[in-house]
Amino acid sequence: MAISESSKGLLILAVSSIGLLLLIVAVAGTSWATVRVYSTGIFLGCIRAYVYFCTAEFVFPLSLIFAYALDTTWFYVVRMLLLLSIIGTLTGIVCSFDRKNDTMIMVTALSFLTSGSFILVSCVIYWNYTAIIASFIGNDFYIAVLAGLAITGCGLPFAAQVIRRKFGEEDYGREHPSFME
């Protein structure tokens, strides 16, 4: 059964929204993060209730990993990865409704490509030096890599989808000549 264009757009919107909510949980899923968030006054109204639910002694592995990474020297790197993932998710929503917007498609693809490449290089470096530099960097680097993998894992499949659209393919390689115009 074929899925209509409007249904497909709504499905992508729903998936992107869930991914964005997971990112919010990752940031606000610990009591440590809650104090910071409340003091800045970013989350208000109904969002505050959502944050409270996520921080009410709720054990969430992604939250614990992310909060630990924020306390390390890799704080700014992890924050950059989070920002890139959020930008990619938001521009990805735009791409799902405006499929010929080349700028948005490229911003989405590049945001995930940058964060994904950093994680890939980080993993290769970590696995190759283990005995020599591990004692210098310690476990902080490993935790930061895990946090980055969790964050970008929400967006990499969608990034692959928008890249396929850019080259004229959509949904399992089915060709659409209109995308080649």
Interval 89-123: pLDDT, tens: 666 666 656 666 666 666 666 666 665 555 555 55
Q: Is 1 among the domain residues?
A: no
CATH number at residue 36: 1.20.140.150
Q: Is 76 among the domain residues?
A: yes
- Residue range(s) defining the domain that contains residue 133: 11-166
H helices present in the chain, as ranges: 5-28, 31-40, 46-55, 61-70, 75-97, 102-137, 139-152, 156-166
Total number of domains constituting the chain? 1
Residue 60 has pLDDT above 50, yes or no: no
Residue 38 is predicted with a pLDDT of: 44
